[in-house]
Protein backbone atom coordinates (compact mmCIF):
# COMPACT_ATOMS: atom_id res chain seq x y z
CA UNK A 1 0.00 0.00 0.00
CA UNK A 2 1.31 3.50 -0.75
CA UNK A 3 2.39 5.63 2.17
CA UNK A 4 1.28 9.20 2.80
CA UNK A 5 3.50 11.40 4.98
CA UNK A 6 1.93 14.41 6.65
CA UNK A 7 4.37 17.04 7.88
CA UNK A 8 3.19 19.37 10.65
CA UNK A 9 5.53 22.14 11.88
CA UNK A 10 4.76 23.20 15.46
CA UNK A 11 6.06 26.14 17.42
CA UNK A 12 4.55 26.80 20.85
CA UNK A 13 1.30 25.13 19.86
CA UNK A 14 0.30 23.49 23.18
CA UNK A 15 -3.17 25.04 22.95
CA UNK A 16 -4.02 23.51 19.61
CA UNK A 17 -1.97 20.35 19.33
CA UNK A 18 -4.53 18.11 21.09
CA UNK A 19 -7.34 19.16 18.78
CA UNK A 20 -5.06 18.92 15.73
CA UNK A 21 -4.15 15.39 16.71
CA UNK A 22 -7.85 14.48 17.05
CA UNK A 23 -8.73 15.92 13.65
CA UNK A 24 -5.75 14.26 11.99
CA UNK A 25 -6.54 10.88 13.51
CA UNK A 26 -10.14 11.11 12.31
CA UNK A 27 -8.81 12.04 8.90
CA UNK A 28 -6.44 9.05 8.92
CA UNK A 29 -9.23 6.65 9.85
CA UNK A 30 -11.13 7.73 6.74
CA UNK A 31 -8.26 6.90 4.38
CA UNK A 32 -8.68 3.93 2.08
CA UNK A 33 -5.81 1.97 0.54
CA UNK A 34 -3.25 4.28 2.03
CA UNK A 35 -0.91 4.01 4.99
CA UNK A 36 -0.02 7.18 6.78
CA UNK A 37 2.78 8.62 8.92
CA UNK A 38 2.42 11.87 10.84
CA UNK A 39 5.69 13.78 11.16
CA UNK A 40 5.52 16.52 13.76
CA UNK A 41 8.45 18.92 13.68
CA UNK A 42 8.85 20.69 16.99
CA UNK A 43 10.61 23.90 16.07
CA UNK A 44 12.20 24.49 19.48
CA UNK A 45 8.97 25.22 21.35
CA UNK A 46 9.32 26.72 24.80
CA UNK A 47 5.98 25.45 26.09
CA UNK A 48 4.74 21.87 26.55
CA UNK A 49 4.41 21.09 22.84
CA UNK A 50 7.39 18.71 22.86
CA UNK A 51 6.15 16.71 25.87
CA UNK A 52 2.67 16.41 24.40
CA UNK A 53 4.09 15.22 21.08
CA UNK A 54 6.30 12.67 22.85
CA UNK A 55 3.28 11.25 24.61
CA UNK A 56 1.34 10.97 21.37
CA UNK A 57 4.30 9.27 19.69
CA UNK A 58 4.59 6.67 22.44
CA UNK A 59 0.93 5.72 21.97
CA UNK A 60 0.81 5.52 18.20
CA UNK A 61 3.41 4.01 15.87
CA UNK A 62 2.30 6.22 12.97
CA UNK A 63 3.48 9.32 14.80
CA UNK A 64 7.05 10.58 14.46
CA UNK A 65 8.59 13.58 16.13
CA UNK A 66 11.58 15.64 15.07
CA UNK A 67 12.72 17.84 17.96
CA UNK A 68 14.87 20.79 16.94
CA UNK A 69 17.61 22.03 19.25
CA UNK A 70 16.21 25.59 18.93
CA UNK A 71 13.75 27.63 16.91
CA UNK A 72 14.85 27.58 13.27
CA UNK A 73 11.70 28.96 11.69
CA UNK A 74 8.70 27.59 9.86
CA UNK A 75 10.32 27.03 6.46
CA UNK A 76 13.25 25.13 7.94
CA UNK A 77 10.89 23.01 10.06
CA UNK A 78 8.96 22.09 6.94
CA UNK A 79 12.24 21.23 5.21
CA UNK A 80 13.26 18.87 8.01
CA UNK A 81 9.88 17.15 7.73
CA UNK A 82 10.27 16.74 3.98
CA UNK A 83 13.78 15.36 4.46
CA UNK A 84 12.60 12.76 6.95
CA UNK A 85 9.40 11.73 5.15
CA UNK A 86 9.43 8.35 3.47
CA UNK A 87 5.96 8.50 1.91
CA UNK A 88 5.04 8.20 -1.76
CA UNK A 89 3.38 11.57 -1.30
CA UNK A 90 4.03 14.26 1.29
CA UNK A 91 1.48 16.74 2.62
CA UNK A 92 2.47 19.98 4.37
CA UNK A 93 -0.09 21.36 6.80
CA UNK A 94 -0.03 23.94 9.59
CA UNK A 95 -0.59 22.82 13.16
CA UNK A 96 -3.18 25.50 13.93
CA UNK A 97 -6.01 23.91 11.90
CA UNK A 98 -6.23 26.89 9.56
CA UNK A 99 -5.78 24.35 6.80
CA UNK A 100 -8.58 21.79 7.28
CA UNK A 101 -7.20 18.22 7.18
CA UNK A 102 -10.36 17.08 5.36
CA UNK A 103 -9.19 18.94 2.23
CA UNK A 104 -6.33 16.43 1.97
CA UNK A 105 -8.84 13.85 0.67
CA UNK A 106 -9.35 15.99 -2.42
CA UNK A 107 -5.60 16.43 -2.77
CA UNK A 108 -5.13 12.67 -2.68
CA UNK A 109 -7.78 12.26 -5.37
CA UNK A 110 -5.90 14.70 -7.61
CA UNK A 111 -2.62 12.94 -6.90
CA UNK A 112 -4.19 9.62 -7.91
CA UNK A 113 -5.25 11.27 -11.16
CA UNK A 114 -1.57 11.82 -11.84
CA UNK A 115 -0.77 15.29 -10.51
CA UNK A 116 2.57 15.78 -8.75
CA UNK A 117 1.81 18.94 -6.82
CA UNK A 118 -1.66 19.82 -5.54
CA UNK A 119 -1.51 23.19 -3.81
CA UNK A 120 -4.27 24.76 -1.78
CA UNK A 121 -5.38 28.23 -2.90
CA UNK A 122 -7.12 30.29 -0.26
CA UNK A 123 -10.50 31.57 -1.37
CA UNK A 124 -11.40 32.99 2.02
CA UNK A 125 -9.31 33.85 5.05
CA UNK A 126 -11.61 34.63 7.98
CA UNK A 127 -10.11 35.85 11.23
CA UNK A 128 -7.10 37.57 9.64
CA UNK A 129 -6.55 41.29 10.16
CA UNK A 130 -7.24 43.64 7.26
CA UNK A 131 -3.56 44.56 7.38
CA UNK A 132 -2.46 40.94 6.89
CA UNK A 133 -4.95 40.38 4.08
CA UNK A 134 -3.89 43.49 2.19
CA UNK A 135 -0.14 42.95 2.63
CA UNK A 136 -0.40 39.25 1.74
CA UNK A 137 -2.38 40.07 -1.42
CA UNK A 138 0.14 42.70 -2.44
CA UNK A 139 3.08 40.43 -1.62
CA UNK A 140 2.01 37.54 -3.84
CA UNK A 141 1.41 39.93 -6.73
CA UNK A 142 4.72 41.75 -6.37
CA UNK A 143 6.52 38.42 -6.00
CA UNK A 144 4.99 37.14 -9.19
CA UNK A 145 5.85 40.27 -11.06
CA UNK A 146 9.47 40.16 -9.92
CA UNK A 147 10.07 36.45 -9.98
CA UNK A 148 11.44 34.47 -12.89
CA UNK A 149 9.40 31.40 -11.89
CA UNK A 150 5.64 31.73 -11.85
CA UNK A 151 4.54 31.23 -8.26
CA UNK A 152 0.78 30.75 -7.81
CA UNK A 153 -1.10 33.62 -6.15
CA UNK A 154 -2.59 33.36 -2.63
CA UNK A 155 -1.02 29.99 -2.03
CA UNK A 156 0.60 28.92 1.21
CA UNK A 157 2.52 25.79 2.03
CA UNK A 158 -0.60 23.63 2.40
CA UNK A 159 -0.02 21.16 -0.44
CA UNK A 160 0.55 17.59 -1.48
CA UNK A 161 3.74 16.67 -3.33
CA UNK A 162 4.63 13.41 -5.04
CA UNK A 163 7.86 11.53 -4.41
CA UNK A 164 9.72 12.89 -7.48
CA UNK A 165 9.00 16.46 -6.36
CA UNK A 166 10.02 15.69 -2.78
CA UNK A 167 13.28 14.09 -3.94
CA UNK A 168 14.05 17.15 -6.02
CA UNK A 169 13.37 19.43 -3.03
CA UNK A 170 15.69 17.29 -0.91
CA UNK A 171 18.42 17.76 -3.48
CA UNK A 172 18.15 21.55 -3.27
CA UNK A 173 20.79 22.69 -0.77
CA UNK A 174 20.03 26.42 -0.41
CA UNK A 175 19.65 27.76 3.11
CA UNK A 176 17.19 30.56 2.31
CA UNK A 177 14.19 28.35 1.85
CA UNK A 178 10.96 29.59 0.40
CA UNK A 179 9.28 26.23 0.09
CA UNK A 180 6.18 27.27 -1.87
CA UNK A 181 8.38 28.91 -4.49
CA UNK A 182 10.80 26.00 -4.63
CA UNK A 183 7.94 23.59 -5.22
CA UNK A 184 6.82 25.71 -8.19
CA UNK A 185 10.34 25.87 -9.53
CA UNK A 186 10.56 22.07 -9.63
CA UNK A 187 7.86 21.81 -12.30
CA UNK A 188 6.04 18.51 -13.03
CA UNK A 189 2.25 18.43 -13.24
CA UNK A 190 0.81 20.98 -10.82
CA UNK A 191 -2.76 21.93 -10.06
CA UNK A 192 -4.48 24.21 -7.59
CA UNK A 193 -7.22 23.27 -5.19
CA UNK A 194 -9.36 26.16 -3.90
CA UNK A 195 -10.28 25.84 -0.23
CA UNK A 196 -11.71 27.96 2.56
CA UNK A 197 -9.07 28.78 5.13
CA UNK A 198 -10.35 28.50 8.69
CA UNK A 199 -9.52 30.65 11.67
CA UNK A 200 -6.65 29.65 13.92
CA UNK A 201 -8.10 27.14 16.41
CA UNK A 202 -6.39 28.67 19.46
CA UNK A 203 -3.29 30.59 20.44
CA UNK A 204 -1.68 33.42 18.52
CA UNK A 205 0.01 33.66 15.16
CA UNK A 206 3.68 32.70 15.38
CA UNK A 207 4.43 35.10 12.53
CA UNK A 208 4.84 38.59 13.97
CA UNK A 209 5.33 41.47 11.54
CA UNK A 210 9.13 41.24 11.66
CA UNK A 211 9.13 37.52 10.74
CA UNK A 212 6.56 38.15 8.02
CA UNK A 213 8.69 40.89 6.49
CA UNK A 214 11.78 38.68 6.56
CA UNK A 215 9.78 35.91 4.94
CA UNK A 216 8.54 38.24 2.19
CA UNK A 217 12.04 39.55 1.48
CA UNK A 218 13.39 35.98 1.46
CA UNK A 219 10.75 35.02 -1.06
CA UNK A 220 11.55 37.86 -3.39
CA UNK A 221 15.33 37.67 -3.16
CA UNK A 222 15.51 33.89 -3.51
CA UNK A 223 13.48 33.98 -6.67
CA UNK A 224 14.56 37.10 -8.45
CA UNK A 225 17.57 39.19 -9.32
CA UNK A 226 15.33 41.96 -10.65
CA UNK A 227 15.94 44.21 -7.60
CA UNK A 228 19.60 44.33 -8.69
CA UNK A 229 18.58 45.38 -12.17
CA UNK A 230 16.30 47.97 -10.64
CA UNK A 231 19.35 49.76 -9.21
CA UNK A 232 20.32 50.50 -12.80
CA UNK A 233 16.89 52.04 -13.37
CA UNK A 234 17.23 54.15 -10.21
CA UNK A 235 20.64 55.30 -11.45
CA UNK A 236 19.30 56.20 -14.87
CA UNK A 237 16.37 58.14 -13.46
CA UNK A 238 18.65 60.21 -11.25
CA UNK A 239 21.06 60.80 -14.14
CA UNK A 240 18.15 61.97 -16.28
CA UNK A 241 16.93 64.34 -13.57
CA UNK A 242 20.47 65.68 -13.24
CA UNK A 243 20.62 66.27 -17.01
CA UNK A 244 17.36 68.20 -16.96
CA UNK A 245 18.72 70.28 -14.07
CA UNK A 246 21.93 71.04 -15.96
CA UNK A 247 20.10 72.09 -19.12
CA UNK A 248 17.76 74.27 -17.08
CA UNK A 249 20.62 76.00 -15.25
CA UNK A 250 22.60 76.49 -18.45
CA UNK A 251 19.55 77.87 -20.25
CA UNK A 252 18.94 80.40 -17.52
CA UNK A 253 22.59 81.44 -17.50
CA UNK A 254 22.84 81.90 -21.26
CA UNK A 255 19.46 83.39 -22.12
CA UNK A 256 18.52 85.38 -19.00
CA UNK A 257 20.11 87.32 -16.23
CA UNK A 258 18.72 85.06 -13.49
CA UNK A 259 20.96 82.48 -11.89
CA UNK A 260 19.74 79.31 -10.22
CA UNK A 261 19.74 79.83 -6.47
CA UNK A 262 22.50 77.57 -5.22
CA UNK A 263 21.77 76.18 -1.78
CA UNK A 264 18.35 74.52 -2.23
CA UNK A 265 19.20 72.93 -5.57
CA UNK A 266 22.47 71.62 -4.18
CA UNK A 267 20.92 70.12 -1.05
CA UNK A 268 18.16 68.43 -3.00
CA UNK A 269 20.64 66.93 -5.42
CA UNK A 270 22.97 65.67 -2.71
CA UNK A 271 20.17 64.15 -0.64
CA UNK A 272 18.49 62.60 -3.64
CA UNK A 273 21.67 61.01 -4.91
CA UNK A 274 22.67 59.89 -1.42
CA UNK A 275 19.27 58.24 -0.97
CA UNK A 276 19.39 56.45 -4.30
CA UNK A 277 22.91 55.21 -3.62
CA UNK A 278 22.03 53.91 -0.16
CA UNK A 279 19.01 52.07 -1.51
CA UNK A 280 21.17 50.42 -4.17
CA UNK A 281 23.82 49.51 -1.61
CA UNK A 282 21.13 48.03 0.59
CA UNK A 283 19.82 45.85 -2.20
CA UNK A 284 23.34 44.75 -3.07
CA UNK A 285 24.00 44.05 0.62
CA UNK A 286 20.97 41.78 0.90
CA UNK A 287 22.28 39.61 -1.90
CA UNK A 288 25.83 39.60 -0.56
CA UNK A 289 24.53 38.60 2.88
CA UNK A 290 22.78 35.67 1.27
CA UNK A 291 25.91 34.62 -0.59
CA UNK A 292 27.79 34.75 2.73
CA UNK A 293 25.16 32.56 4.38
CA UNK A 294 25.30 30.02 1.59
CA UNK A 295 29.09 29.94 1.53
CA UNK A 296 29.27 29.13 5.23
CA UNK A 297 27.57 25.90 4.28
CA UNK A 298 26.17 25.19 7.71
CA UNK A 299 23.60 22.47 8.22
CA UNK A 300 20.10 23.86 7.82
CA UNK A 301 18.91 22.68 11.21
CA UNK A 302 20.05 20.83 14.29
CA UNK A 303 17.93 17.97 15.52
CA UNK A 304 18.04 17.22 19.21
CA UNK A 305 15.99 14.07 18.98
CA UNK A 306 14.13 11.86 16.56
CA UNK A 307 11.24 9.86 17.98
CA UNK A 308 9.11 7.19 16.39
CA UNK A 309 11.37 6.61 13.39
CA UNK A 310 12.52 3.08 12.78
CA UNK A 311 15.98 2.17 14.15
CA UNK A 312 18.46 4.89 13.31
CA UNK A 313 16.04 7.66 12.43
CA UNK A 314 15.00 8.86 9.00
CA UNK A 315 16.91 7.89 5.87
CA UNK A 316 17.95 11.43 5.24
CA UNK A 317 18.57 14.39 7.48
CA UNK A 318 20.69 17.46 7.07
CA UNK A 319 21.31 17.64 10.78
CA UNK A 320 24.76 16.67 12.05
CA UNK A 321 23.35 15.10 15.18
CA UNK A 322 23.20 11.32 15.05
CA UNK A 323 19.95 9.95 16.31
CA UNK A 324 19.33 9.35 19.97
CA UNK A 325 16.65 6.67 20.01
Contacting positions for ligand UDP (CB under 6 A): 9-11, 13, 43, 71, 73-74, 77, 94-96, 98, 200, 205-207
Q: Minimum CB separation from ligand UDP for residue 323, in Å?
A: 21
CB of 198 vs ligand UDP, minimal distance in Å: 10
Smallest distance from Mg ion to CB 205, Å: 6
The residues, any chain, with a CB within 8 Å of residue 77's CB and separated by 6 or more, are: 9, 10, 11, 41, 43, 68, 301
Partner from Mg ion, ligand UDP, none binding residue 304, C-beta < 5-8 Å depending on class:
none
Instruction: For strands 117-124 and 155-162, give the pairing.
Output: antiparallel
Nearest to ligand UDP of 37, 116 (CB atom): 37
Q: How far apart are CA 38 and CA 29, in angstroms?
A: 13
CB of 215 to ligand UDP, least distance (A): 9
Question: Which residue lies nearer to Mg ion by CB, 37 or 94?
Answer: 94
Q: Toward ligand UDP, which CB reaches closer, 53 or 186?
A: 53
> Least Å distance between CB 195 and ligand UDP?
14
Strands laid side by side in the 117-124 sheet: 190-196, 117-124, 155-162, 89-92, 3-10, 35-42, 63-68, 303-307
Q: Provide the 3-class DSSP secondary structure of residue 318.
A: coil
Q: Hey, which residues between 97 and 116 contact Mg ion (CB under 5 A)?
A: 98
CB of 200 to Mg ion, least distance (A): 5
Helix, strand, or coil here: 89?
strand
Question: Which is nearer to Mg ion, 98 or 319 (by Cβ)?
Answer: 98
Among 42, 96, 116, 157, binds Mg ion (CB under 5 A): 96
Torsion over CA: 237, 238, 239, 243 (sign): positive
Residue 215 contacts which entry, ligand UDP, Mg ion, none (Cβ below 5-8 A, type-dependent): none
Cβ distance to ligand UDP smaller for residue 65 or 115? 65
User: Considering CB distances under 5 to 8 angstroms, the limit depending on partner class, which of ligand UDP, Mg ion, none binds residue 4?
Assistant: none
What are the start-end ranges of the H helices in 100-225? 103-112, 130-146, 163-170, 179-186, 209-223
Nearer to ligand UDP, 110 or 197 (CB): 197
- Residue 50 interacts, among Mg ion, ligand UDP, none and using kind-specific CB cut-offs from 5 to 8 Å, with none
**Residue 181 partner contact from ligand UDP, Mg ion, none using kind-dependent CB cut-offs of 5 to 8 Å:** none
In whole angstroms, the minimum distance from the beta carbon of 147 to Mg ion comes to 24
CB of 98 to ligand UDP, least distance (A): 5
- Among residues 273, 135, 138, 125, which one has the least CA distance to residue 209? 135
Name every residue whose Cβ is closer than 8 Å to that of residue 181 and which is 6 or more positions away in sequence: 143, 147, 149, 151, 219, 222, 223
**Could you write out the three-class secondary structure of 209-273?**
HHHHHHHHHHHHHHHCCHHHHHHHHHHHHHHHHHHHHHHHHHHHHHHCCCCCCHHHHHHHHHHHH
Instruction: Scan residues 230-269 and list those touching Mg ion (CB under 5 A).
Output: none
> Which residue number, 9 or 313, has a Cβ lying nearer to Mg ion?
9
Q: Which is nearer to ligand UDP, 10 or 183 (CB)?
A: 10
Q: Are 162 and 89 in contact (CB under 8 A)?
A: yes
Residues that bind Mg ion (CB under 5 A): 94, 96, 98
Amino acid sequence: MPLLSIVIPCYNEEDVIGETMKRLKTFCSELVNLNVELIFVDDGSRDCTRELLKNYASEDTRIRVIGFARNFGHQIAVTAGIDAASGDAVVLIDADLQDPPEVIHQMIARWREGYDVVYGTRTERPGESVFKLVTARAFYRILNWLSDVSIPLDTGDFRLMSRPVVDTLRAMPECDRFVRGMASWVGFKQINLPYKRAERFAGESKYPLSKMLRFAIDGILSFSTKPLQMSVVFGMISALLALIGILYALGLRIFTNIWVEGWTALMITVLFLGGVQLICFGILGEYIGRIYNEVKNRPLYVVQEYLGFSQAGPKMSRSPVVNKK
